[in-house]
Amino acid sequence: MYYSYYKEGYTVDSCTGEVIDFEAYDSVDYSGLEYYEKVSSSVRKREEKEIRDMKKIVLNYLLSIMTEEEKNEFYRILNQIERHGRKADSALYLAIYEHILSREGKQVKRDYLKFIRSRGIGRYAIRQRKKLLRQMLREDPVIQYIKYEYSGDKEEDLKVYELLKKHNLAYDNAKKRKQILLRYLTDKKLLNELLEKEKIEEIGNTILLLNIRDFESFSFSQFPV
């Protein structure tokens, strides 16, 4: 049921919360669906504008604090996401920025945290976008760990991880694969066994390749028919 009430000297529509133009009140049909469709359309347009404005505010803030290298990486990732058909929002902008920082081994600053709180953007929304980001970029979390967190020889450790995957020794989820990798990196005996296995396979492949070449170069014409 529709009714109106007074608030701070204005007549307020109980259904929409809008202030009613008292002089035009009698000429407005509040029972018709068209009125509420107009109100809904107006609310939707206002929300869309607020989203666009928030994106601009967040983007301008990030551009003001990023280095040139970070800006280039930011737009590279953003373009890659948009090629997936995903529309970016303010939380995704922030997720990309935090993703870049984590790859550089940096932490977000206190001023940054104050900014996102002042804009009402929750950490949960950013975490969800970061999950989506990892899926889109298809980056192996274990490779990220080696590159940006593990303190060993990154190039050699990446080779070990690739060997583990090649021989089906790195399996299951990222947490399990990371545990397996660390076990091989810290246990010299296991690591040597892996390297020996790879060496034997390489020797076998070399012998097979030589046999194939010998066979191809062999001529049956030397035998009498």
CA-to-CA separations, 24 to 5, 8, 21, 27, 198, in angstroms, rounded: 16, 19, 5, 5, 85
Asked if 92 and 144 touch (Cβ cutoff 8 Å), the reply is no
CA-to-CA separations, 192 to 40, 178, 186, in angstroms, rounded: 68, 18, 11
In the chain the beta strands, taken as DSSP E runs, fall at 4-7, 10-13, 19-20
The Cβ of residue 135 has, within 10 Å, a number of other Cβ atoms equal to: 10
Q: In this predicted structure, what is the pLDDT of residue 68?
A: 93
pLDDT in tens, 113-161: 999 998 888 889 999 999 888 877 776 888 878 877 788 888 899 999 9
pLDDT in tens, 155-208: 899 999 999 998 899 888 888 999 999 999 999 999 999 999 888 888 877 776
What are the backbone dihedrals phi and psi of residue 10, each rounded to the nearest 5 degrees, phi first? -120, 155
CA-to-CA separations, 105 to 57, 90, 100, 123, 147, in angstroms, rounded: 26, 23, 9, 19, 10
Q: How confident is the model at residue 2 (pLDDT cuts 50, 70, 90)?
A: very low
Domains of the chain: which residue ranges? 48-139, 141-218
Asked if 77 and 112 touch (Cβ cutoff 8 Å), the reply is no
User: For residue 7, what are the β-bridge partners?
Assistant: 10
Residue 66 confidence (pLDDT) above 90: yes
Of 49, 93, 56, nearest to 71 by C-alpha is 93
For the chain, the residue count is 225
Q: In this predicted structure, what is the pLDDT of residue 1?
A: 45
Q: In this predicted structure, what is the pLDDT of residue 149?
A: 79
User: If you average pLDDT over residues 96-113, what whole number do you get?
Assistant: 89
